[in-house]
Amino acid sequence: MRETKRAVLTLEDGTTFEGKSFGYEGSTSGEVVFNTAMTGYPESLTDPSYEGQILATTFPLLGNYGVPPSDANPMMSDYLEDAHIHCKAIIAQDYSWEHSHWLANRSLADWLKSEKVPGVYGIDTRALTKHLREKGSMLGKITIEGCDDVDFYDPNLDNLVAKTSTEGVTLYDVAPDGSFITTAINAGHPQLQTSEKKTVVLVDCGVKHNIIRCLIRRGVRVVRVPWDYDFSAIDYDGLFISNGPGNPDLATATVDHLRKALGEDRPICGICMGNQLLAKAAGAKTYKLKYGHRSHNQPVIQAGTGKCFITPQNHGFAVDSDTLPSDWEPLFINMNDGTNEGIRHKTKPFFSAQFHPEASSGPKDTEFLFDTFISML
């Protein structure tokens, strides 16, 4: 009989859910959210957009296919979305102590323990999800038997974009053998010599590595810069604003730099947080959703076309389409609740998507948006 410690999830409204620990044995707190995806827990755990959040999975089983190996190069993972876990904890109805996958080199439990992230199973996740849908996402804390209690923590009061963004400037390219190359860029950008390839500046607001992969595989080189970096001194062909966690109102430095870029005609594309920050730079407003969109099966319709796409999503804030200036318009609309899923400028090569066309994990129906952006360069 496997011995496990008692774990209790307490929500800020006093509701409690009791389960058992399978990860790191330590208490933690954050915003409790749910994801309805059936697969992809390694990608979700390392997605920077989950920074500060306790992730509850509605699919009843975790751990059955283990965890892929970590990468020697933390700046470009082959299998994960960042070099470390960003979730504060993960919750499931059941956990598989045995795993099987040709790529796995360890269990989910061992990975969580190595990164000091609690995991809880045995919780009625259907009841938890229903509660969050009715009441909205809320703060929560997990207390493990024998561990100290912790206070509630609201991650949306912190600038999580600053916390998850890169600190330096990095050039990404592809070697002749097809492998990825990463090069640190010094002040003055001496390494950015004239190249036959187009150059895309990627503003890192908490970027998923697959966004970088999707860009590089399309024949461009990528210059990844911090969220508050003044990229105007770089000779670039296109600008890309990444996904990221938390409240877009706190990423003011990014918005200020974007406003300057909007005065030019070089192509701009944004994903997730990038959609929100581009909208704010244009003059629109954002707001917090009741419980957000976190799944692999969100249907969005492309405005004016009648085309519907199934998209992976992970966001808790949205753009208020009614506040868009007259020279901007919605590009995609969520078919479940009518919220904004993307914007575009009516005359300039600027557009963005609230969902994740790079997937990882989830359906790749909208990866063509990377091709659209590259064709503008």
Q: How far is C-alpha 153 from the geometric centre of its chain's CA atoms?
A: 20
List helix spans (H) across 143-288.
Answer: 160-164, 209-216, 252-261, 273-282
Residue 20: beta bridge partners?
Answer: 6, 121
Of 28, 24, 21, residue with least CA distance to 5 = 21
Question: Residue 37, Cβ neighbours under 10 Å: how many?
Answer: 20
Q: Going by C-beta distance under 8 Å and a sequence separation of 6 or more, which residues neighbour residue 207? A: 48, 166, 224, 242, 243, 244
What is the number of other CB atoms lying within 10 angstroms of the CB of residue 306? 7
Given the residues 293, 315, 345, 356, the one annotated as active site:
356
358/293 Cα distance (integer angstroms) = 16
243/240 Cα distance (integer angstroms): 10
* 205 catalytic residue (yes or no): no
Residue 244 CA from chain centroid, whole number: 5
Contacts of 279 (CB under 8 A, 6+ apart): 285, 286, 319, 324, 328, 340, 343, 352
CA separation (Å) from 145 to 19, 97, 118, 148, 174?
11, 20, 12, 8, 49
Active-site residue flag, 51: no
φ, ψ of residue 326 to 5 degrees: the values are: -65, -20
Residue with tokens 């009061």: 157
272 in active site: yes
CA distances, 54 to each of 86, 141, 185 (Å) = 10, 8, 35
Query: What values do phi and psi take at 20, rounded to 5?
Result: -130, 150
The rounded distance, in Å, linking the Cα atoms of 87 and 372 is 32
- Of 81, 272, 293, 296, the catalytic one is 272
Find the catalytic residue in 43, 81, 341, 358: 358
Q: Enumerate residues 6+ apart whose C-beta is below 8 A from 252.
A: none
The residues annotated with a catalytic role in the active site are 272, 356, 358
